[in-house]
Chains A and B, each alone.
Chain A
Amino acid sequence: MNWMALVLVGVIAFAVSGPVGMLGRRGGNGWQWVSAVVAVGGGLCGLVGAFAVLLGSLSESLSFPAAAPAMTLDLRVGPLSAFFLIPIFAIGALSSIYGLGYWRQSRHPRTGRKLRFWYGLLIAGMAMLTLCENSIDFLVAWEMMALSTFFLIIIEDQKLAARQAAWVYLVATHLGTLLLVALFAILRVITGSFLFHPLPPGQVGMGLQTTIFLLATAGFGLKAGIVPLHFWLPEAHANAPSHVSATLSGVTLKMGIFGMLRVLTLLSARPPAWGFFLLTLGVVSAFMGVLWAIGQHDVKKMLAYHSVENIGIILMGLGLALLGEAEHQPIWIVLGMAGCLLHVWNHGLFKSLLFLSAGSVIHCTGTRDIDRLGGLAKSMKITAALFMLGSLAICGLPPLNGFISELFIYLGLFHTIARLPILSLAAAVLAMVGALAAACFTKAYGVAFLGTARNNVRRAHESGPTLWIPMCVLAAACVLIGVAPSLVLAPLMHATAAWSGQTLPALGSLVPFRTLSMLGVGLIAATGVGFLVQRYALRQARTGATWACGYIAPSKRMQYTASSLAQMLLTALGPLLHQRRREPRISGVLVGPSHFHTVVSDPVLKDAVEPIWRRLRSMLARGQGFQKGSIQNYIFYMLLILLALLAFTLPLAMLWKLLF
């Protein structure tokens, strides 16, 4: 069976799902269904192919020698690429279903078809990216992904915030591409081919390899959102439509991680410093990401900062695995890499779930501001339960999937204690990150879904089945991996072995999968039985108003807000944050109405990127005189440049002829 063909059918289906949807009328809903069916069908094909390759630990190649002028298409699907293909196809298909209700063609006649077009290209681009065996193809797929992301962020181009976010994103992504071009140029010079050939051991100097490693870390890190290269991420993910944000956070960021893994398989050196570097970057990203998240009151921006945190956790696993290779510690490699890879899947699942349920809230209430919501758990029961599940998973609480991948990384870090105890300190930071994440999601869930409705919110209602069915699928996957982690044992081992290329101890001997399953099921069963008993016992319970210390008319405005909930934590961690506070000032005997508000802004964007950007713009403004805006001028410039090039190359060519 040619599984590669199935994967390619999936890629092509996604690429054409957009144009198919364009056949319909602007205001009609019929063709959006056709488009979604094509996408879901392609997703299923791709998933079957990817799972077959991953579970069988297969490797299939395919080459089109003359795919385009001066370009061959070299494709290969192996366990590592199949591992990354699975979330691409799964979340791509689920988000396409979600888009049917969330971005209905009849409600968005202007943007609906455009959105599906770029969305299909984004998924197809990412899937191609994992298959490419040739750096030119890789860069083409990379740009396909990067540019369609740009068009998806700017889809609501009437909004200033979306335009600004998309602009910052475009600059950041091209900066990354520039670094990647440099990276692949160096590889081309060394290996003499555009194909991805592993560097022969012992022939390429450490300095050159480290340059390649740093270029990869910066270029792919810009895509993955590693601190301090995350500055474009929160705004971009917050301003895209929610199912697009789910894909961007859940899948697209991981393409940066995939790129790093791919380039690392090409390099032959493994100095310990690389592992230390990545582990440190991971710790900083995880810690700062969650810290910035706590200060956000926009639910999508908060989720986006949590992506920075989770990329940090993934990077901690990767750093540990690299150190394991440097120090010849197979246990570190297995636990680090398994944690890294499983967290790639897990974060894809629970972050998409959270973004989709946040989207469901936005769809029904029209606001992203947590402080304006409240009491939604009563009117949106399904969304609330699913957001809760996603929160438990992202905080790494048992018995859900986030706990399993964090457990791998914790265990790996604890194993370092015998040899390099300083590394194990990262476990203490990870513990604090976990507690901070729990605080953040208590804030988000507690303020938005619990209590009573605050002000200015449309009457909320539950979203339709096209919204909650994809969410339920994601939630089921989170629970399944949490209570039956042995299901992911084989995929993880195959992908880890494909990455490291050496024989490694079995993951099953390092982690007690059966005990974890039993405890997870036991915890769920105990709570479930307890709940039934409780329902019976409390059948005569009375209801009354919340106790407010004898005050008999508590109002919705007396509730704790997200700002006040986070205030104590932000004050305690104040020195690490760039926080602006608007506090009530008390003057006179009778105190008037007052207001308390905190804004945590991103220091990288506000204090580093923006000033540099402004200076650059004022420098470049001097050249503005050339920009007349008339086409004749530009054609004239072209002519001048061609002449200049001729003038430059002709003498060189003559010199060449004279000499040889």
Chain B
Amino acid sequence: MTTFIGISLQAVLLTLLPPLLLGIINKTKAGFVGRRGPPVLQVYYDLLRLVKKNVVISSTTTWVFLAAPLVSVASVVLAGLMVPLGPTAAPIHFKGDLIMFAYLLALGRFFTTLAALDTGSSFEGMGAARELTFACFSEPALFLALLVLVKLSGALSLSAMLLPASHVRIGSTASAALVLIAVSLFVVLLAETSRIPVDDPNTHLELTMIHEVMVLDNSGPLLGAQIYASSVKLLILAAFLLHVVLPLKPALVGRDWGLMLVGLVAVAGIIGAVESLMARLQMRFVPTLLVAACLFSGFGFLLIL
């Protein structure tokens, strides 16, 4: 019964919670500059409005452009079903789901970048080139972090390896390794979800953007799907990070669900704070940042050898 509740709770959270995180980030950012900012639920209103709107499709595009938002949402939700959002195992878990998870995110990225090239605009091509370049550096950082978790837990499934990751004794070598990969995962999260210092989701200058510029030609429900997909990605990567950081105990299910929810809000708040306090990096320094993330994971790996 508890597993059933856990699974349904996860499914509901995975589908409904993501836009809230974007709302919290925006609220935090507004707070830092002394504004009231949009309501926390604004992203939900935006999505509803976008779904109702009509669409303009560029005459240059093919079916790839229309397929990209669908594949993005489908792949990221499927990947999300493999990450435990709370103290119970994820709805889908099997040996090797960690690889499926990473490759589903890559599938979404493949279609999004192709859709960007489909419009024939050089701005969108520029965004695609950046996204692809940065992915090449964030992917090894993610896998090195996964290796550390596999080594610590001896399991090959995200559910099995993330849940024990939370009861490593504080002060042990393993906990030091977890701190290192947590830093790395945070950088990967910022890069994958296109936040400052990698990308600026709020800029209106196409030349300087990555994700926003790739979806420049999307409108109405298509744009809504892309925004939703990237918010789901934010949620699952944040949950991933929290499992590495938070001291969850499987015995205290109620407490841990609360802890996870508070943690998700806190991650959104931290992202908002980072966005308010930092400037976006120059594009040519972003690979350096991601290589640093790889190094953090790599040293974490060395620690537990």
| B57 contacts A541, C-beta separation under 8 Å | yes
Q: Given A395-B106, A445-B114, do A559 and B57 touch, yes or no (CB 8 Å)?
A: no
A68 at the interface (CB under 8 A from B): no
Which of A143-151, A464-472, A566-574, A625-633 lies at the interface?
A566-574
B156 partner, pick from A411, A439, A556, A565, beta carbons under 8 A? A411
A451 partner, pick from B100, B120, B123, B216, beta carbons under 8 A? B120
| B103 contacts A396, C-beta separation under 8 Å | yes
B135 at the interface (CB under 8 A from A): yes
B151 at the interface (CB under 8 A from A): yes
| A434 contacts B58, C-beta separation under 8 Å | no
B-contact bits for A377-410, CB 8 A (1 contact / 0 none): 1100000100010001001111000010011001
Contacting residues of chain B (105-124) with chain A, CB-CB under 8 angstroms: 106-107, 109-110, 113-114, 116-124
Report B-chain residues with C-beta under 8 Å of the C-beta of A428: 140, 143-144, 147
| A556 contacts B154, C-beta separation under 8 Å | no
Q: How many residues of A are counted as interface, with CB atoms below 8 angstroms from the partner's CB atoms?
A: 83
Report A-chain residues with C-beta under 8 Å of the C-beta of B130: 568
Report B-chain residues with C-beta under 8 Å of the C-beta of A388: 64
Report B-chain residues with C-beta under 8 Å of the C-beta of A515: 92, 94
Q: Given A428-B147, A446-B118, A564-B129, do A410 and B96 touch, yes or no (CB 8 Å)?
A: yes
Report A-chain residues with C-beta under 8 Å of the C-beta of B60: 375, 451-452, 545-546
Measured in the bound complex, the distance between the Cα atoms of B117 and A377 in whole Å is 12
Interface size grouping (class) on chain B: 35 or more
| A549 contacts B133, C-beta separation under 8 Å | no
B217 at the interface (CB under 8 A from A): yes
Measured in the bound complex, the distance between the Cα atoms of B99 and A407 in whole Å is 7
Which of B69-77, B237-245, B247-255, B262-270 lies at the interface?
B69-77
Report A-chain residues with C-beta under 8 Å of the C-beta of B16: none
Report A-chain residues with C-beta under 8 Å of the C-beta of B73: 530
Measured in the bound complex, the distance between the Cα atoms of B126 and A558 in whole Å is 12
| A434 contacts B156, C-beta separation under 8 Å | no
Report B-chain residues with C-beta under 8 Å of the C-beta of A439: 132-133, 135-136
Nearest A residue to B116 by beta-carbon distance?
A446
Measured in the bound complex, the distance between the Cα atoms of B123 and A308 in whole Å is 33
A613 at the interface (CB under 8 A from B): no
B143 partner, pick from A375, A421, A431, A545, beta carbons under 8 A? A431
Report A-chain residues with C-beta under 8 Å of the C-beta of B136: 432, 435-436, 439, 569, 572
| B66 contacts A534, C-beta separation under 8 Å | yes
Which of A205-213, A342-350, A519-527 lies at the interface?
A519-527
B172 at the interface (CB under 8 A from A): no
| A569 contacts B123, C-beta separation under 8 Å | no
Nearest B residue to A421 by beta-carbon distance?
B305
| A564 contacts B125, C-beta separation under 8 Å | yes
A22 at the interface (CB under 8 A from B): no
| B56 contacts A549, C-beta separation under 8 Å | no
Residues of B whose CB lies within 8 Å of any CB of A are: 54-62, 64, 66-67, 70-71, 73-75, 78, 92, 94-96, 99-100, 102-104, 106-107, 109-110, 113-114, 116-126, 128-130, 132-133, 135-137, 139-140, 142-144, 147, 150-151, 154, 156, 206, 216-217, 220-221, 283-284, 287, 301, 305
Residues of A whose CB lies within 8 Å of any CB of B are: 374-375, 377-378, 384, 388, 392, 395-398, 403, 406-407, 410-411, 414-415, 417-418, 421-422, 424-425, 427-432, 434-436, 438-439, 441-443, 445-447, 449-452, 510-512, 515-516, 519, 522-523, 526-527, 530-531, 534, 537-538, 540-549, 554, 556, 558-560, 564-569, 571-572
A-B contact pairs, 15 of them (CB 8 A): A375-B60, A424-B147, A424-B151, A438-B110, A438-B135, A451-B120, A511-B96, A515-B92, A541-B55, A544-B58, A545-B58, A546-B119, A547-B217, A560-B117, A565-B117
Top-8 shortest CB links A-B: A560-B125, A446-B117, A451-B120, A439-B132, A431-B143, A512-B94, A435-B139, A541-B55
A424-B147, A435-B135 given; name 16 further pairs at CB < 8 Å.
A374-B120, A395-B110, A411-B156, A414-B156, A417-B150, A421-B305, A443-B132, A447-B117, A510-B95, A538-B221, A541-B56, A543-B58, A545-B58, A546-B61, A546-B120, A564-B129
